[in-house]
Structure 1
Amino acid sequence: MIIECPAKINLSLDVVGKREDGYHLLQMIMQTIALYDRVKITKNNEMVITCNKIDVPCDRSNIAYRAVEVMKEKFNIEDNFKIEIEKNIPVAAGLAGGSTNAAAVIKGLNDMYSLNLSIDQMKEIGLKLGADVPFFFEGGTCLAEGIGEKLTKLNDVSCHLVVAKPPINVSTKYVYQNLKLDEIAVHPDTKRIIQYINSNDIRSLAESMVNVLETVTVREYPVIFEIKNIMMEFGALGSLMSGSGPSVFGIFEDKADALKCHNRLRDYIKEVFVVSTINRGV
């Protein structure tokens, strides 16, 4: 069984508070994009996980491996599996590549064993693995609240994107630990952004995008700001860092402009993609 699992971007990301357990409360708009990993699941004598990228762990620290363990325990599945991950989504990039792989495993085993789990049931299992996992059972365009698990489906956004991941690694934990809520000068107007989405006003949406985590990540890694500027110079309607970074995306009205921007960025960044938004998850 092979499952295509898409990446996500954040069209906006706001931190609106902090729980007693240390988790930050979020209000963000998430969007799946046509950049896919592929996860192949086959029965095997022992648990094995493989990946075509050497910087992806192939042991229990891989969230897809843990997804298998959760499903085996919850549904008394005695079989073992070989999980083969074809990784096309950049790693540790703010694009939720690990979370979408975990969602693919849950959906794949649900189908393989005819468990007939509902989307809500799969979301509940996914949340035990990570806050971004439930989103991939919805996909498309969603408002995510709480720690990211409270999802509200929005109208589909349709546009061309350039996504660029500079060759740096950003620790999500570091970003949140160094985020100073009382020093954030500009928050996204999430209600207004949703209105733009509902009226299919892509230009106003792009111009209104804000990610408050940029206040930490861009200060540490100025290359993110440089990429945003290049995207705007090449005609992007708006440009934003996704998640805690370091990936940056730009929204383009015209695919030809997106391709020109892609070619410029490829001069010094290896992982650059021209993709579109999609209205599906795993």
Structure 2
Amino acid sequence: MLVFPNAKINIGLNIVEKRPDGFHNIESCFYPVGWSDALEITVAENFEFHTDGIAIPGSSSDNLCTKAYQMLAADYILPNVNIHLLKAVPIGAGLGGGSADAAFTITALNKLFSLGISLEKQQDYARRLGSDCAFFIDNKPVYCFDKGDRFEKMDLTLAGKWVVLVNPGLHISTVEAYAGIKPEKSTTDLRETLKQPIENWKAFVKNDFENSLFPKFPVLAGIKEILYKQGAAYAAMSGSGSTLFGIFEAETDLSTIFKNYKIWQGTLK
């Protein structure tokens, strides 16, 4: 079975408080985008995990795809499989690429071997692997809260709008990103704010990580400025970086302007 784990962007990201378990509670809108990896799962004599494309740090036993298989195999009778991951979504880029790979492993195994696991139970499995893994099970725009693993449906649709994602190649660890954060309760409701026309978002929809990371990595602020100069209706950093995105009303090819960076551009669904 061949599937294509896609990335997501954060439209707004508020860090509202630090939890007793050391994680942080957040508020954000997760929105799927088309930048994708390729994941193939086939029955094999022995379990194997292989990767191509962007090099993935760590051993294969530590990869979330392997952990996803082992987690389901502990509860269901599964044959050995060969998991082959072609990595294209940048790592440590605020796009949830690794989380998507893990979630798509769960959904693919469920379908391939007719396990009959409900959507809700698949999400519960995904939550055991990472805070934003569960989003990719249903893979639809949601308002997320708590650790980013609890969801509320949103009517927000950006279907037909053009998005440009720009990654300058910086790997920003979660620890580094949170080091400059001072959690604070939101004064506005992101769900209500996103009901406004997209051209109004610039003044109200923010990513809290930008305040600390932009001074440390000026290239990020520069990319955001260029996106607005090129006509983006809204631009921001996704997650804890380092990818910036711009949402445009019409197709806008920025491949030449950002020729030295990794870039993905396409239509939102």
Q: Distance in 2 between matches of 1:250 and 1:10?
A: 12
1:202 CA drift (Å): 2.8
Alignment-derived partner of residue 202 in structure 1:
198
Q: Which of 257, 260, 265 is matched with 1:264 structurally?
A: 257
Correspondences of 1:100-111 after superposition (within 5 Å): 100-111=100-111
1:45 CA drift (Å): 2.1
Alignment-derived partner of residue 178 in structure 2:
176
Q: Distance in 1 between matches of 2:203 and 2:39?
A: 35
Alignment-derived partner of residue 93 in structure 1:
93
TM-align CA RMSD: 1.8
**Residue 81 (structure 1) aligned with residue 86 (structure 2):** no
1:189 CA drift (Å): 4.5
Query: TM-score of the superposition, structure 2-length normalised?
Result: 0.93
**Residue 225 (structure 1) aligned with residue 221 (structure 2):** yes
Q: Distance in 2 between matches of 1:107 and 1:34?
A: 18
Q: Is the 8 A contact 2:143 2:191 kept in 1?
A: no
Alignment-derived partner of residue 210 in structure 2:
214
1:88 CA drift (Å): 2.1
Query: TM-score of the superposition, structure 1-length normalised?
Result: 0.89
Q: Which moved further from structure 2: 210-219 or 173-182? A: 173-182
**Residue 122 (structure 1) aligned with residue 135 (structure 2):** no
Q: Which moved further from structure 2: 113-122 or 152-161? A: 152-161
Alignment-derived partner of residue 60 in structure 1:
61
Q: Distance in 1 between matches of 2:240 and 2:229?
A: 23
1:237-271 superposed Cα distances (whole Å, 9 cap, x missing partner): 1210000000000111121xx21x332111x22x1
Identity of matched residues, %: 27
Correspondences of 1:243-254 after superposition (within 5 Å): 243-254=239-250
Give the gaps of 5 or more residues in structure 2: none
Q: Is the 8 A contact 2:68 2:102 kept in 1?
A: yes
1:208 CA drift (Å): 3.5
3-state DSSP of counterpart to 1:136: helix
Name the structure with the higher helix share: 1
Letter in 1 for 2:118: S
Q: Distance in 1 between matches of 2:166 and 2:203?
A: 19
Letter in 2 for 1:215: N
1:41 CA drift (Å): 0.3
Q: Which of 222, 231, 244 is matched with 1:235 structurally?
A: 231
Give the gaps of 5 or more residues in structure 1: none
Change (3 A) 1:29 1:227: same
Alignment-derived partner of residue 43 in structure 1:
43
1:7 CA drift (Å): 0.5
Q: Distance in 1 between matches of 2:198 and 2:237?
A: 17
Change (3 A) 1:263 1:19: same
Q: Distance in 2 between matches of 1:226 and 1:188?
A: 27
1:62 CA drift (Å): 1.2
Change (3 A) 1:220 1:47: farther
Alignment-derived partner of residue 72 in structure 1:
73
Q: Distance in 1 between matches of 2:123 and 2:89?
A: 22
Change (3 A) 1:70 1:203: same
